[in-house]
C-alpha cells in the first residue's frame, strides 16, 4: 500500500465496497476495470463509452455490469461513490467536472486536463465538495520508482546531477494531443516526484512530421537550478521501443530500464572526481571510480492495482492521494510551458515558484540523509 501525503496510515479496516463507474473502455479503461473488479473493497457498478461495440465487449468480460453510452444518464441513475475517467484528454475536464458536481470521488487518467485553468477549476470543486480527486500518475505506484526514490532520498547516490529519460516507440498517434502530452506525463511525474520540487524553467523543441500541428518527436529540458536538470525525449517515430531513465548522482548512477522483465534497476558505483589541487598538467588526471554494479530485488506488483487500491483507501480515510489534483495541475503547468516553448521554437519558459515537495526538496532530503539524523 502506498503512503498518502497527509495522515499516517491506519491499520486496514473492514469497509463497505466502493461503487465505481469507469468512463472510457478503449485501450486503457479495461485495465482500470480489471483492477477495480479484482479488489475486494470495490465493485464496478457501471461502465460508459460512446461506442456500443466497446460496451458489448465489456458485457462479455463482466456479465452483469451496467453499460451506458449516455454519461449524464449513468450519473443520474446509478448509485455511485466514484467515477474513473479514461477518455481522450480533451474530455477529462467536462467529464470530471460533471462527476465532482454530482458528488462523486474522481480519478482522472493522465494528463489531468488540457490546461492549468481546467485543473484549477477541478481542484476548487473537489476542495469545496470535500471529494477525493486523484490523477493516474501510474509510475508513482510502481516498485522501481518507489525504490529509486528511497535510494536517492537516503543520499545513496549523492547529489542528483541530472536525470535523463527516453520514451520512444512507433505510434500510437493521437488526434488531440502531441507526443509530449501523451508520453511525457510518465517521465515528468517521476522526475517531479524524485526531485520533490518544480523546475524553475522549461524549454521544449520538436517537430510534427506526420500530422500537421501535432508534434511527434519532442525534447524537453527542465532546469532545477544549482546546475541540476532533467531531459525528456518523447517520440512516436522510433522503430525500437525504449523506456529508459538514468539518474546520475555525484557518487553513483541508477539506470531504470522498464523493458527489462526482472532486473529493472541497476545501480552503478561509478563516478568521476576532480583532483583537489590541480594545475594545467594535473587537470588531465581526473579520478575515475569504478565500483560494483548492484541490482536490487524488486517485488512484482502491478502498479495500476496499487494505484486503484490507493484511490479507494484515500476515499475511505479522507486522505490526500499521492498523485492528488494539485500534482496533476503542476504536471499540466509543465506541459503548458512545453507547448508555449514549442511555439517559440524552444525558447525558455519560466515557471512560478512551485511547491511540490512532500518531505522537503530532494536537495534538503539528501543533505539530511548524508549528514545523518
As a whole number of angstroms, the distance between CA 138 and CA 135 comes to: 9
Member of 27, 281, 284, 288 binding ligand NAD (CB under 6 A):
27
- Asked if the bond preceding 172 is cis, omega within 30° of 0, the reply is yes
Nearer to ligand NAD (CB atom), residue 50 or residue 357: 50
CA distance 342 to 311: 34
Distances (CA, A) of 157 to 27, 96, 151, 230, 366: 38, 40, 7, 16, 9
Using DSSP bridges, classify how beta strands 265-273 and 237-249 pair: parallel, antiparallel or unpaired: unpaired
Cell 516498485 belongs to 143
Our finding on whether 334 is near ligand NAD (CB under 6 A) is no
Grid cell, residue 304, equals: 495500476
Q: Report the residue from 22, 44, 75, 89 that binds ligand NAD according to the rule CB under 6 A.
A: 89
> Is residue 67 close enough to count as binding ligand NAD by CB under 6 A?
no
Q: Is 126 in the site for ligand NAD (CB under 6 A)?
A: no
**Cβ distance to ligand NAD smaller for residue 26 or 103:** 26
Closer residue to ligand NAD, CB minimum distance, 27 or 284? 27
Q: Which residue has the cell 583532483?
A: 275
Q: How far is the CB of 224 from ligand NAD (least distance, A)?
A: 25
Q: Which stretch binds ligand NAD (CB under 6 A): 20-28, 149-157, 220-228, 328-336?
A: 20-28
Among 18, 33, 36, 54, binds ligand NAD (CB under 6 A): 54
91 lies in the binding site for ligand NAD (CB under 6 A): yes
* 82 interacts with ligand NAD by CB under 6 A: no
Query: Should residue 51 be labelled a site residue for ligand NAD when binding is judged by CB under 6 A?
Result: yes
Q: Which of the ranges 26-34, 192-200, 266-274, 324-332 carries the binding residues for ligand NAD, by CB under 6 A?
A: 26-34
Three cell numbers, residue 125: 470543486
Rounded Cα distance between 189 and 229, Å, is 15
Query: What span, in angstroms and rounded, lies between the C-alpha atoms of 46 and 83?
Result: 9
CB of 367 to ligand NAD, least distance (A): 33
- Among the listed ranges 87-95, 145-153, 195-203, 316-324, the one in contact with ligand NAD (CB under 6 A) is 87-95
| Nearest-angstrom CA–CA distance, 91 and 96 | 8
- Binding region for ligand NAD (CB under 6 A) out of 10-18, 83-91, 140-148, 156-164: 83-91
Burial of 289 from C-beta contacts in 10 A (0-12 / 13-18 / 19+): exposed
User: What distance in Å separates the CA atoms of residue 202 and residue 67, rounded to the nearest whole number?
Assistant: 43
Residue span 94-113 as binding mask against ligand NAD, x where in contact by CB under 6 A, dash where not = ---------------xx---
Near ligand NAD by CB under 6 A: residue from 5, 28, 120, 257: 28
Among 50, 208, 237, 298, binds ligand NAD (CB under 6 A): 50
- Which is nearer to ligand NAD, 27 or 288 (by Cβ)? 27
- Find out whether 270 and 161 touch, Cβ atoms under 8 Å: no
Compute the distance between CA of residue 24 and CA of residue 84 in angstroms, rounded to an integer: 9
User: Which residue in the set 2, 42, 82, 86 belongs to the binding site for ligand NAD (CB under 6 A)?
Assistant: 86
**What is the rounded distance in angstroms from the CA atom of residue 118 to the CA atom of residue 113?**
6
C-alpha cell, 65:
455490469
Which residues make up the interface to ligand NAD (CB under 6 A)?
23-29, 48-51, 54, 71, 86-89, 91, 109-110, 136, 138
Amino acid at each position: 500500500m502506498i503512503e498518502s501525503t497527509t495522515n499516517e496510515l491506519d491499520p486496514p479496516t473492514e469497509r463497505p465496497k466502493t461503487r465505481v463507474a469507469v468512463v472510457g473502455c478503449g485501450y486503457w479503461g479495461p485495465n482500470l476495470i480489471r483492477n477495480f473488479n479484482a479488489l475486494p473493497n470495490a465493485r464496478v457498478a457501471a461502465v460508459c463509452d460512446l461506442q456500443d461495440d466497446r460496451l458489448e465487449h465489456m458485457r462479455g468480460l463482466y456479465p452483469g455490469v451496467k453499460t451506458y453510452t449516455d454519461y449524464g444518464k449513468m450519473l443520474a441513475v446509478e448509485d455511485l461513490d466514484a467515477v474513473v475517467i479514461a477518455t481522450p484528454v480533451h474530455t477529462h475536464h467536462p467529464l470530471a467536472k460533471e462527476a465532482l458536481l454530482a458528488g462523486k470521488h474522481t480519478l482522472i487518467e493522465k494528463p489531468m486536463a488540457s490546461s492549468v485553468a481546467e485543473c484549477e477549476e477541478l481542484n476548487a470543486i473537489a476542495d469545496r465538495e470535500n471529494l477525493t480527486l486523484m490523477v493516474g500518475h501510474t509510475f508513482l505506484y510502481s516498485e522501481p520508482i518507489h525504490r529509486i526514490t528511497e535510494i536517492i532520498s537516503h543520499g545513496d547516490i549523492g547529489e542528483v546531477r541530472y536525470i535523463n529519460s527516453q520514451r520512444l516507440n512507433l505510434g500510437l498517434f493521437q488526434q488531440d494531443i502531441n507526443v509530449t502530452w501523451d508520453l511525457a506525463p510518465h517521465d515528468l511525474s517521476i522526475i517531479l516526484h524524485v526531485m520533490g520540487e518544480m523546475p524553475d524553467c522549461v524549454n521544449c523543441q520538436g517537430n510534427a512530421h506526420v500530422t500537421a500541428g501535432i508534434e511527434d518527436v519532442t525534447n524537453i529540458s527542465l532546469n532545477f537550478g544549482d546546475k541540476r536538470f532533467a531531459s525528456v525525449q518523447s517520440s512516436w517515430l522510433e522503430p525500437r521501443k525504449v523506456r529508459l531513465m538514468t539518474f546520475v548522482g555525484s557518487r553513483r548512477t541508477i539506470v531504470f530500464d522498464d523493458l527489462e522483465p526482472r532486473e529493472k534497476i541497476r545501480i552503478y558505483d561509478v563516478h568521476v572526481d576532480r583532483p583537489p589541487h590541480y594545475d594545467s598538467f594535473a587537470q588531465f588526471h581526473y579520478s575515475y571510480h569504478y565500483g560494483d554494479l548492484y541490482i536490487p530485488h524488486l517485488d512484482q506488483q502491478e502498479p495500476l492495482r496499487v494505484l486503484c487500491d490507493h484511490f479507494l483507501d484515500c476515499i475511505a480515510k479522507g486522505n490526500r492521494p499521492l498523485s492528488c489534483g494539485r500534482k496533476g495541475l503542476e504536471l499540466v503547468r509543465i506541459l503548458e510551458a512545453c507547448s508555449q516553448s514549442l511555439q517559440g521554437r524552444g525558447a525558455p519558459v519560466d515557471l512560478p515558484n512551485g511547491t511540490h515537495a512532500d518531505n522537503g526538496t530532494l536537495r534538503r532530503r539528501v543533505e539530511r540523509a548524508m549528514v545523518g539524523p
